[in-house]
Amino acid sequence: MIIQLSALDQIKRNYPQVPLLGVGVVVIRDQEIVLVKRGQAPAKGEWSLPGGLVELGEKAADAAAREISEECRLVIRDISLLDYFEFIDWSIKGIKYHFVVLEFRALYAGGELAAADDSIEARWIHTKDIDAFPCSVQIKSIVRKAFGQY
């Protein structure tokens, strides 16, 4: 039996040989944004912006649109680069995770929000509720930046 793995299945996320490029997206609908509860490490079970890894040969903005479709079942438009951050997690064995994540801002264009792919829950959150929502300070900062609230 021959099993063919996709390019992303072949990437070693734990203890990688090189940094991995990811995307995250602040999806905006009026004064609401999408947050997802992560279904896999790193940060499994935590609320975050939807996103994932960029595939070989894929433009980062195209990866953002694909990930939103796969993870949330939504269509987005007007995708623009907002910020970036690096996530490096060390363990006794070395660097366990190393991601460079491009954060995008995009407008909701259609679809019915649903948790899919590696998300276990997805919600529309009003921006006035973001400070009380159980997500990282970094996520809250990116959301504020998407709305011009530095």
Answer yes or no: are the C-beta atoms of 115 and 50 closer than 8 Å: no
DSSP state of 51: E
Q: What residues make up the domain containing 53?
A: 17-146
What's the mean pLDDT in 16-20? 79
pLDDT tens profile 30-86 = 999 999 998 777 678 889 999 999 999 999 999 999 999 999 999 999 999 999 999
How many domains does the chain divide into? 1
Query: Is the pLDDT reported for residue 2 higher than 50?
Result: no
Predicted local confidence at residue 10, as pLDDT: 47
pTM: predicted TM-score of the whole model, two decimal places = 0.85
- Cα 56–Cα 143–Cα 133 angle in degrees, nearest 5: 115
Asked if residue 56 belongs to a domain, the reply is: yes
Copy the structure tokens of residue 34. Answer: 């999408």
DSSP state of 127: G
Q: What is the CATH number for 120?
A: 3.90.79.10
